Amino acid sequence: MSVVSNAKLLEKYLSLEQHGAVQVEYVWIDGFNNLRSKTKTVTKVPQSAAELSEWNYDGSSTGQAEGHDSDVLIQPVALFNDPFRGGDNKFVLCETFNPDGTPHKSNYRNACKKIMDAHADSKPWFGLEQEYMFMDPQTEKPYGWPKLGYPEPQGKYYCGVGAGKIFGRDIIEAHYRACLYAGIKISGINAEVSASQFEFQVGPCLGIEGGDHLWAARYLLERVAEDFGIAVTIHPKPIKGDWNGAGCHTNFSTEEMRQEGGIVAIESAIKKMAKRHMEHIAVYGEDNDQRLTGRHETGHIETFNYGVANRGASIRIPRQVGKEGKGYLEDRRPASNIDPYRVTGIIVESTFWPEN
């Protein structure tokens, strides 16, 4: 039975000659904040996404269109090496459009790109920390958890070393290499506080690249875990009770913040973000109220606060940044299931919000 891919057998076919044909996997975001993809053969190796033609799919099967008028157009925007097929094969992130050429309402990249272009001079950098949990699709419990009851309470799992503390190291290792091969700016990985919970980070990424690289890394995570027969959840509170939720801390800086005395610009951005707290929360992920309780290293969803080295704050200024008086800020509010285009977009928008 081949529910899980048979890696050894597949290898034989993947080593067959392709005769110059290149396989390009078109990847897009559906109407449920999930990824979809399908493949097209092209005749020359694309050097950029712009060289690839527009395509379409049936939006009535992805929560994005009615049956009678179901075509959704996809436009390639960010190109990566395909670690699964190898060789010259690629995968490409796409934006979605309605038949009339307007961005689909689930396409948040389009508006984000406009904001990033408008503030390109400020050279905005993002570092996104994606927390997630592996799930066993057979039991629908976190991967490695006992069939009955719970594993030992959290405490020994964060950056854990050794059997009984880490469930799925092979998967996170495979994902890390797959990201490097693809050309994703993955900056690190670590095991998280809850059992079977992990994190990867992308960054620093310039402007729109933050969202692009996060989605590309999520795509590879889903695909790698699929090979191992394991599912991934990015729900912000996958397990109720005394188990840490999952976030997507968003680290941000502009060129001004990175230069001498940049702390002034950091504090000015934080003050503007504070005024728009609820507007930020509105795009910081579904069910984030289950996570931002003021416990488990979070600030409460209804209050805004910030501080140096404070992991219970909405926004943290890392200790090193406080000391050096320049660097970046960490917005700890975004949930693990964010669309990063919405989050990076509003952070830049608020940072350059006119004073009042």
Burial class of residue 322 in the structure, from the number of CB atoms within 10 Å of its CB (0-12 exposed, 13-18 middle, 19+ buried): middle
Residue carrying the six token digits 């050096």: 324
Q: Rounded CA gap, 71 and 134, in Å? A: 33
Q: Rounded CA gap, 85 and 335, in Å? A: 32
CA-to-CA dists, residue 307 to 246, 271, 311, 312, angstroms: 21, 12, 8, 9
Among 263, 328, 340, 349, binds ligand ADP (CB under 6 A): 328
Nearer to ligand ADP, 299 or 327 (CB): 327
Regarding 327 and contact with ligand ADP (CB under 6 A), the answer is yes
Find the part of the chain contacting Mn ion (CB under 5 A) among 6-14, 123-131, 134-142, 343-351.
123-131
Nearest distance, CB of residue 249 and ligand ADP, angstroms: 5
Work out the number of other CB atoms within 10 angstroms of the CB of residue 302: 11
**Considering only residues 242-281, where is the footprint of ligand ADP by CB under 6 A?**
249, 251-253, 258
Regarding 334 and contact with ligand ADP (CB under 6 A), the answer is no
Regarding 129 and contact with ligand ADP (CB under 6 A), the answer is yes
Find the part of the chain contacting ligand ADP (CB under 6 A) among 59-67, 150-158, 236-244, 323-331.
323-331
Regarding 129 and contact with Mn ion (CB under 5 A), the answer is yes
Q: Rounded CA gap, 197 and 146, in Å? A: 15
Regarding 201 and contact with ligand ADP (CB under 6 A), the answer is yes
Percentages helix, strand, coil for the chain (3-state, rounded to 5) are 30, 25, 45
Nearer to ligand ADP, 108 or 252 (CB): 252
Regarding 203 and contact with ligand ADP (CB under 6 A), the answer is yes
Among 59, 76, 83, 127, binds ligand ADP (CB under 6 A): 127
Nearest distance, CB of residue 279 and Mn ion, angstroms: 22
Give which of Mn ion, ligand ADP, none residue 251 binds (C-beta under 5 to 8 Å, depending on kind). Answer: ligand ADP
Phi/psi for 217 (5° steps) reads -70, -35
Q: Rounded CA gap, 129 and 147, in Å? A: 30
Work out the number of other CB atoms within 10 angstroms of the CB of residue 127: 20
**Considering only residues 181-240, where is the footprint of Mn ion by CB under 5 A?**
199
Nearest distance, CB of residue 330 and ligand ADP, angstroms: 6
**Considering only residues 204-223, where is the footprint of ligand ADP by CB under 6 A?**
204
Q: Rounded CA gap, 203 and 129, in Å? A: 9
Give which of Mn ion, ligand ADP, none residue 164 binds (C-beta under 5 to 8 Å, depending on kind). Answer: none
Nearer to ligand ADP, 22 or 248 (CB): 248
CA-to-CA dists, residue 344 to 113, 219, 248, angstroms: 10, 19, 11
Regarding 249 and contact with Mn ion (CB under 5 A), the answer is yes
- Which residues lie near Mn ion (CB under 5 A)? 129, 199, 249
